[in-house]
Structure 1
Amino acid sequence: MLSAMAGWGPAMVSTTPATRAPATADPGPLRPPWSARALIAAGLLVAAVAVTWLTFWWIGLSPASLAAGLDDTARLLRRMWPPDLPRAGDVAWMIVETLLIAVAGTGLAALASVPLAFVAARTHKGPRRLRPPARAVIVLTRAVPTLAFAILFVRIFGLGPLAGALAVAVHSVGMIAKLLTDAVEEADPVPAEAARACGAGEVQVAVSSVLPRVFPALAGIVLYRLDINIRASAVLGVVGAGGIGVALQTALGSLNYHRAAGIICVIVVLVLLLELLSVTVRRTVLRPTVRRRTASRTSRRDLVGRDTGAAGRTAGDTTGTAALPGGRAPHDVGWDRGRVLRVAGAIATGVVFLVSLWSLDPDPGRLSGAWPNLRAVLTGMWPPAFSGDLLMAVLESLLMALGAAAVGAACGLVLALLTAVNTTPWRPLSAMVRVLLVVVRGIPDLVYALLFVAALGLGPYAGFLALWISSTALAAKFFADSLEQLDPLPHEALTSVGARRWQAFAAGIWPQFVPSFTGNGLFVADLALRESVVLGIAGAGGVGYLMQESIATLRYDTTAAIVIAIAVVVYAIETLARIARRHLL
């Protein structure tokens, strides 16, 4: 047998070439098939490059002009040094007024957003004919920037914090109502259906079964929006809507650059401190809610387990212990430390909100006197007057925003690679870059625009540079967070087999990071488009300057056309970004 097997070996080897399948041609290097995700990503990259080139051509940006512009800006900054801080009393009052504007506007927006969100939600069983108008209001208020509303309300109600608070409130309704609508639609429908089965009306269902479940989400949304509104309120005074921005506009208008630098320093410190406070409040208010809900679910599971075990033990023995342990009576609300703190916090919030409303000087005579102005604005807005100049201004804002977002995403990627802990070449460098990004993000975009306009003159060049800086800082923050959340195993595996740093990044990190890079880049472009309208008000190009001029000259039909154009463009960009993120993420 062994000899037979030995004889088979050579025979089998010799016959293998005859029985082997015919050789095929070398297919070459393997390439991944083209998918919808790859096509969309490639299309977005090509579009970003094309828009950036068109923006550079439109505003006349070149290496020589950029160097000259930076040199002029450096000379302006030298003229602003050293900063001249206002008196402590003046600074305190301006800061308090800014905070009160933000609190009053956010509170009014929260009160208006709750019924609007329920009407707009698809799960709400109220009159369906009200749903399209409610959604239209949410879209319109979210698309038009706060400063644009401030210009209108200053014209209607006059100078002062009342116009600023109303502008903050109207714009905030769009975000708060939109996010609250999503929370209402995602809430568990069983309690609402049970309430309806018992004969409750839709208002009773919303108040008793849906609102308590979405209240933690509402609290988080309002806190986040308050943080945004404080930043916005710091510059509303540029158009006369109260707050610390009035002092900044006065200083720049009088060429008192030392005082302007001092006010900018106050704004930056205020924004940074409030950002730290906002993060602390969200951690202390929202995370305990999550822990309580988790603990409640755990206790219910333990209770069910004890109940089942007790039932099993007492099935044959009626002398067993009770299935449920003793506790408080059903009518005892349990005024423990947590409940006392929550009630005290709610009362304090209500008091602060009422004080902020009273600080707006809501004089009935002043409000009634504003009615003729409001009627003149509304009647003068119809029909809207579209023109070629308006369309060119909208195109200029669009090019500024998209070009600055594209360049900012590229620069932000470099800073993110230096910041993220899994890509930075040196940990101390990461800490320094993080501090720099926090400071840069703390300065509002309009402040950058005012500085560049003072250094370079009116036009889109100043607006592009302002958006470039803010987009870079924002993109770097988003990209660094995304890089640190990636799966580290591919990068570590490549590094362990001797791959170089750039090889490990290209093969282990970048393929995972592409969807986040695209999604966050689109979000930065969306924000830049909204801000480009605001920068035009300071003379930094775009449609904002045309809007301010139309209100000053009482051409409200042009104002209406500008508002419609802004809303359409912003909503179109937002829709395209949402579709792209859906296919990429």
Structure 2
Amino acid sequence: MSALGTSPPDPRPRHPGTTVAPPSRTGTAAALVLLVLLCAAVWSVGELRLNVATLVDSVGNAADFLSRTLPLDFPPLGELVALTGQTIAIVVCATLLSVLVSVPIAVLAAGNTTPALAARYGARTVIVVARAVPDVVLAIVFFRLFGLGALAGVLAMGLHSVGMVGKLYADAIEQIDEGPRTAVRATGARPLQELVAGVLPQVLPAFVATALHRFDINLRISVLLGFVGVGGLGFEIANALRRLDYQRGVALALVVLGLCVAAELVSGAVRRALLGGHGERAHRRGGAARAVGRRVDALRAHPLPGPGRAVPDAGRVTPPWTPHRVRGALFGGVTALVVIASVAGADLSPWRIITGLPDMITTLALFWPPTTGGILSVLLAELAVTVQIALAATLLGAMVALPVGALAARNVSPTPETAAVFRMVIVVVRGVPELVLAIVFVVITGLGPVAGALALAIGATGLLGKLVADSLEETDVRVQQAVRASGASRSQVFVAVTLPQAAPAIAAHLLYQLDVNIRSATLLGIVGAGGIGFYLLNASRVMEFGVVTTITSMVFATVMAVELLTLWLRRAVS
């Protein structure tokens, strides 16, 4: 299949009487939609005046901004350690909350574990709503309930993360091998035992990887929530920038960058240690299935006890302490210690939750009914600007990410050293929170959508570059080796074989990046980077909560429309 969902032309000579099947209607429609999106992105770049002249005009502002940031003003070491610890504690607690909430929701949302349509659609609805409601809006609600502090940030990030974590967990459950689960059921296991023995061992690697990935994302989000009152490094960065103290603000932003890069490297190392290296996905699934098979054999030899019967000791299965199991136990112990320290460090008082919950109905009533504040036309125009920012940022980011991702792919890059260098470039770029980039570009280019588009374009370079590199490395190297053996050069192999194999996945990644950029563009408006986010924050500050609901509903409708479109396109191009 080609990138547009149609079959490539047959190079063999046609014989009389043979016919060639026309392209499918779905593939043609997908091609037209992708072409329209490309034209809209190009138009957005021109409409927002994202050109060389704009950048040249901003060179003087960039030099002036750089001079105002030097020398960097780091806080005292004790204060810096305390702020860093508070930030990490909030992020760990939020990620833990998202995992605990997402697991039961994912079980209900997966078609193979919940046959009831009502329960499954209800769980999927919860996932979609959690993903579509901005975490800033959730933070505003929780600030009204529980006051300023870490608790509101943990709840906002944790519940918003359910939208991503719950979806990926449900997808992982639906992709399990049903054989081990069926075998466990045949032994007379109850539904809960079936989940624990037949499903959990298969999805645990994916669950761990998703949780670590979400931790990286939440670390970046914590900077944004600092602008609405969540403590930690983000809150101090916001205070420094409000008083135009760029020396302190940029210094703290560099600390956040270091944390993000460290989190990316550590989580990658943990994923490789727990889940195995590249290309071992099938081996891991087979290992999980074999582990389940050993449990099933034990259950068959010693069936589950009925009422009044004790479990025979001979039925216990104790796996050997292999190096892999020791590593897993070590990481598990360290994780438990980090979680305990984070819960203590975040100062999550149960008493504040108990005293704040009775006011929930009153607080939620402030957000209803939705109102426009007499600026509906302005809100619609700013929503259109938000979409333009996302389209332009996706196009500009893709133009850089495609070559960077190709050079970072080990099977495409000319040397392993080159691939390693570009992999590190991607890690560093991904480590910079888009909000920090937006603030820098607001100072350099001025208030408006140019700053937001440039910030998101750089962010898209990091994420898309990684996804493109991974997609290229996951192609079938045997086909590439066969073409190379025929005398084709490296560039010819890439154009003729590698790129066409990865094209459907890359197209899906571009659509995913557009989806992400629309959500991010909404939030970057909070710091003056254009779009509807500026009005969202102002409405919350003057307590026009009906306007907050209206803006949230508009963003929700836009996100859902893009979600449905990208879902259809991903199926069409796969």
Task: Bin the TM-score by the shorter chain.
Answer: 0.7 to 0.9
The answer to whether structure 1 residue 379 and structure 2 residue 365 are counterparts is: yes
Answering whether residue 348 of structure 2 is matched by residue 362 of structure 1, we say: yes
**Number of aligned positions between the proteins:** 535
Provide the residue aligned with 1:72 in structure 2.
61
- Please state how far the C-alpha of 1:171 moved relative to its aligned partner: 1.1
Query: Higher Cα Rg: structure 1 or 2?
Result: 1
Q: Which residue is equivalent to 1:318?
A: none
Gaps of 5+ in 2: 1-15, 295-312
Using the TM superposition, give the Cα deviation of residue 129 of structure 1 relative to its aligned residue in structure 2, in angstroms: 3.7
1:241-290: per-residue Cα shift (whole Å, max 9, x none)? Answer: 11211121122222222222221221111111111111111122233998
| Conservation of the 8 A alpha-carbon contact between 1:381 and 1:556 | yes
State the partner residue of 1:43.
32
Q: Give, in angstroms, the shift of residue 465 of structure 1.
A: 0.9
Residue aligned with 1:241, SS: coil
Which amino acid in structure 1 is aligned with residue 352 of structure 2?
R
**Which digits, 9 at most, give the CA deviation of each residue in 1:310-356, with x for residues without a partner?**
xxxxxxxxxxxxxxxxxx94347467477677566545544543443
1:416 to 405, 409, 415: 405
1:262 aligned partner, one-letter code: A
Q: Deviations over 1:509-549 (max 9, x none)?
A: 44334323312211221221221122112221112222111
> Cα 1:337–1:475, aligned 2, differ >3 Å: closer, same or farther?
closer
Question: RMSD of the TM alignment (CA)?
Answer: 3.8
The equivalent of 1:220 in structure 2 is: 209
* TM-score for both structures, normalised by structure 2: 0.81
Question: Match for 1:49: what amino acid?
Answer: L
Q: Is the 8 A contact 1:153 1:166 kept in 2?
A: yes
Q: Distance in 2 between matches of 1:490 and 1:216?
A: 29
Tell me how far 1:490 sits from its aligned partner: 6.8
d(CA) in 1 for partners of 2:89, 2:317:
38
1:305 aligned partner: none
Deviation per CA, 1:409-452, whole angstroms, max 9, x where unpaired?
12222333444455556776555444333222110111101111
Q: 1:531 to 1:211 in 2, by over 3 A?
A: same
| Greater displacement, 440-449 / 109-118 | 109-118
Q: Amino acid of the residue matched to residue 556 of structure 2?
A: A
CA–CA distance in structure 1, aligned partners of residues 352 and 291 of structure 2: 56
CA contact (8 A) 2:93 2:343 kept: yes
Q: Work out which of the residue numbers 66, 73, 78 in structure 2 matches 1:89.
A: 78
- 3-state SS of 1:159 partner: coil
Summarize the Cα distance change of 1:299–1:519 in structure 2 as closer, same or farther, 3 Å threshold: closer
Secondary structure (helix, strand or coil) at the match of 2:428 reads: helix
**Does the CA-based 8 Å contact 2:108-2:123 persist in structure 1?**
yes
Name the residue aligned to 1:172.
Answer: 161
Relative distance call for 1:557 and 1:298 in structure 2 (3 A) is: closer
Contact 2:134 2:552 in 1 (8 A): no
Offset of 1:222 from its aligned partner? 2.1
The C-alpha deviation readout for 1:72-99, integer Å capped at 9, x for no partner, is 2343134323423222212211111111
Alignment of 1:300-339 (within 5 A): 329-331=314-316, 333=318, 336=321
Aligned counterparts of 1:106 and 1:72: Cα–Cα separation in 2: 38
The TM-score with structure 1 as length reference comes to 0.79
2:431 maps to what in 1? 442
Q: Does 1:254 align with 2:243?
A: yes
Structure 2 counterpart of 1:353: 339
Pair 1:54 & 2:54 matched: no
Secondary structure of the residue that 1:362 maps to in structure 2? coil
Residue by residue, what CA displacement relative to the aligned partner does 1:101-144 show, whole Å, maximum 9, x if unpaired?
A: 11111111222222222222333458654433322111011123
Between the aligned partners of 2:173 and 2:488, the Cα distance in structure 1 is 49
Asked whether the equivalents of residues 235 and 243 of structure 1 are also in contact (C-alpha less than 8 Å), the reply is: no
2: CA distance between counterparts of 1:257 and 1:177? 39
Q: Tell me, yes or no, if the aligned pair for 1:81 and 1:261 is still in contact at 8 Å.
A: no
Q: For 2:108, which of 119, 128, 131 is the aligned residue?
A: 119
Q: Distance in 2 between matches of 1:498 and 1:125?
A: 53
Residues in 2 aligned to 1:381 and 1:405: alpha-carbon distance in whole angstroms: 33
Letter of the aligned partner of 2:102 in structure 1? S
Report the identity percentage: 36
2:130 alignment partner, one of 118, 131, 141: 141
Contact 1:154 1:163 in 2 (8 A): yes
Aligned to 1:570, what secondary structure does the other structure show? helix
8 Å contact from structure 1 (residues 55, 403) kept in 2: yes
2:165 touches 2:210 (CA, 8 Å); kept in 1? yes
The residue type paired with residue 512 of structure 1 is Q
Deviation digits for residues 158-194 of structure 1 (CA, Å, limit 9, x no counterpart):
2211111111110111222222222333445567667
Deviation at 1:378, TM superposition (A): 0.9
Task: Find the residue that maps to 1:540 and give its secondary structure.
Answer: coil
Instruction: State the SS of the aligned residue for 1:378.
Output: helix
Instruction: Pick closer, same or farther for the CA change 1:335–1:511 going to 2, 3 Å.
Output: closer
Q: Is 1:154 equivalent to 2:139 in the alignment?
A: no
Match of 2:274 in 1: 285
- Alignment CA distance shift 1:484-1:60 (3 Å): same
**1:19 corresponding residue in structure 2:** none
Structure 2 matches for 1:371-410, cutoff 5 A? Answer: 371=357, 374-385=360-371, 387-410=376-399
Per mean C-alpha deviation after superposition, the further-off stretch among 52-61 and 175-184 is: 52-61
Superposed CA deviations along residues 534-576 of structure 1, whole A, max 9, x for unmatched, are 2112221112222111211222222222222222322322222
Whole-angstrom distance in 1 between the partners of 2:334 and 2:378: 50
Is this contact kept in 2: 1:152–1:551, CA < 8 A? no
**Contact persistence 1:126–1:202 (CA under 8 A):** no
